[in-house]
Amino acid sequence: MLDIKFVRENPEVVKENIRKKFQDAKLPLVDEVIDLDARIRKLKAEGDNLRMEKNQTSTSIGALMREKKLDEANKAKQRVVEINQLLVNIEQEEEQLSAELKKKMMIIPNIIDETVPIGKDDSENVEIERFIEPTTPSYEIPYHLDILERLGGIDLDSARTVSGNGFYYLLGDVARLHEAVIAYARDFMIDKGFTYCIPPFMIRSSVVTGVMSFAEMDQMMYKIEGEDLYLIGTSEHSMIGRFIDTIHDKAKLPYTLTSYSPCFRKEKGAHGIEERGIYRIHQFEKQEMIVVCEPEDSKKWFDKLWSYTVELFTSMKIPVRTLECCSGDLADLKVKSIDVEAWSPRQQKYFEVGSCSNLGDAQARRLGIRIKGEKGNYFAHTLNNTVVAPPRMLIAVLENFYHEDGSVDVPEVLWPYMGGTKVLKPIK
């Protein structure tokens, strides 16, 4: 959410930013919030004047009574009663207009970084750099679900019976590989100086609306019926929520945290074959990283965060590339975002395995995360990035280390987490 003072003083900047995100339907919101802001400020001024008059009138009553000017004293008392009612009316109207203003302000997108490429959707994202030259074997690589089934590592049929589509059972060495990836990612980030956390997996609506836009909320979140609780779509949600309504000493920043959680997502809409299997599912596990920092440090941390994901994948000898997300592909709260994509030798293309985002002060402003300054408190900046999400990591491992006989090599850095197992062998 933007600062209303910024919108008031820079309406054309805000409108141009909306155009860059190809959300022209939101343009009228700018004038609407400026009008609401003016009405609220006018009401505040009227209220201040009435309170001043009330104080002066109340003070005069005693003097009038002492002077035996009873009629004037009674008129003054009546005026105080009138002022009290006027103040009640003003406060009610101000509260109503403020709620309307906040609702509209939360729909206006954040100001994107000047370096973000302009484009309508993810098809116009810009490749930045590749790491490890991708290779393709001479033999055919099966679809990842077929590999998993031959390894005896997945049971989708039972999962459909128990939970429906979009769920799965992982079994045997494949399940162990899944956990090995999580454990390695955890230790990888701890070695980078991050504090390891396991957060709550449900959060209140006040946190949900603080960490994401309404559109994202509708597309992603599962609500617990009858309670003010939502299942998290990523641990970032509850990790950032941990700092709600807090003020922090500059000396203690930045907070660098890495968190494990299961993630729950609706994943609305139909998907093609490449997004079936375990690519796009309703429940998965993930290792995340978040940073809460000084505003001037967020760009530096942004570059560090995405580089950690690249380093993690390349340490497993998996080719990856980085993509700069264009303006139309950025969620409304994001200032800048970079995706990390892994190479799929079967598809002969890259696919997303992680996303790094700088949200500026958008989440902090919504949640009240502030830093204590010498000239007053100000909002922190927040960032988040995927360390690894094992379902997609499994796909990357299965395809990049698949052999013609159906076996799959385990990346060397994962051997200590696999009890010495170095190769997954097919059982059928």
Q: Pick from 247, 253, 210: which is nearest to 376 by CA? A: 247
Q: Pick from 61, 57, 50, 48: which is nearest to 86 by CA? A: 50
- Which residues of the chain fall short of a pLDDT of 50? 270, 273
Residues contacting 226, CB < 8 A, separation 6+: none
Q: Are strands 222-223 and 230-231 parallel, antiparallel or unpaired?
A: antiparallel
Residue 308's H or E segment, with its range, is: helix 298-315
Task: Look at residue 102 and give its three-state secondary structure.
Answer: helix
Pairwise CA distance, residues 27 & 166, whole Å: 37
Pairwise CA distance, residues 374 & 379, whole Å: 13
Pairwise CA distance, residues 308 & 414, whole Å: 17
Q: pLDDT at position 374, please?
A: 87
Cβ contact 325:120 at 8 Å? no
Cβ contact 400:343 at 8 Å? yes
Q: pLDDT at position 79, please?
A: 93
Residue 277's H or E segment, with its range, is: none
List phi, psi (to 5°) of 414.
-95, -10
Chain Cα centroid distance, residue 383: 8
Q: Each residue of 36-76: pLDDT tens digit? A: 999 999 999 999 999 999 999 998 998 888 888 888 899 99
Q: pLDDT at position 375, please?
A: 86
Tokens of 188: 């990888």
Burial of 422 (0-12, 13-18, 19+ CB in 10 A): exposed
Chain Cα centroid distance, residue 90: 36
Pairwise CA distance, residues 40 & 45, whole Å: 9
Q: Each residue of 233-258: pLDDT tens digit? A: 999 999 999 999 999 999 999 999 99
Q: pLDDT at position 1, please?
A: 86
Tokens of 152: 């005896």
